[in-house]
């Protein structure tokens, strides 16, 4: 995936961990925005309002 299947060694490992870290940060920001956007609606629905 992303052409990183065969990477190894310190540089390859850094790239791989960097991809995981980047994905984590993107997901944190993305889901955070999604939570702000649809969160109140879902919370109200769960509260039965």
Partner 1 sequence: MEVLGVAVSLLAMFAGFGVLIGLLFGFFGMGGSFLVTPALLVMNYKPDVAVASGLAFVFGTSVIATLKHRDLGQVDYKLGVLMIAGTTGGIEVGKMGLHWLQSMGLADTVVSVAYVALLGGIGVFITYNAVKDDGGGGMSHDVEDDGEIDADDIPDIAKTIQSYRIPPMMKLRGGVRVSLWMILVVAFATGLLSGLLGVGGGFIRMPALFYLIGVPVPVAVGTDLFEIVFSGGIGSFLYAMDGAVDLTIVVPLLAGSALGARLGAAATSLVDEDDIKVYFGVMLLLGAIAVAVRKIGGAIDMPVLDVVALVIILGAALLVSGAVVVSSVRELRTESAPSVHPSD
Residue 17 C-beta: closest distance to partner 1, Å? 5
The CA-CA-CA angle for residues 35, 26, 1, to 5°, reads: 130
2: left (phi over 0), alpha (psi -120 to 50) or beta: left
Residue 13 C-beta: closest distance to partner 1, Å? 4
Using CB atoms within 10 Å of the CB of residue 15, give its burial: 0 to 12 exposed, 13 to 18 middle, 19+ buried: middle
Q: Which of residues 1-49 bind partner 1 (CB under 8 A)?
A: 1-2, 4-10, 12-14, 16-17, 19-21, 23-25, 27-28, 31-32, 35, 43, 46-49
Q: Which residues of this protein are in contact with partner 1, per CB under 8 A?
A: 1-2, 4-10, 12-14, 16-17, 19-21, 23-25, 27-28, 31-32, 35, 43, 46-49
């Amino acid at each position: 995936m992303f052409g990183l299947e065969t990477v190894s060694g310190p540089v390859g490992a850094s790239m791989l961990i960097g991809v995981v870290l980047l994905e984590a940060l993107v997901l944190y920001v993305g889901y955070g925005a999604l939570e702000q956007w649809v969160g109140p609606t879902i919370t109200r629905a769960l509260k039965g309002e």
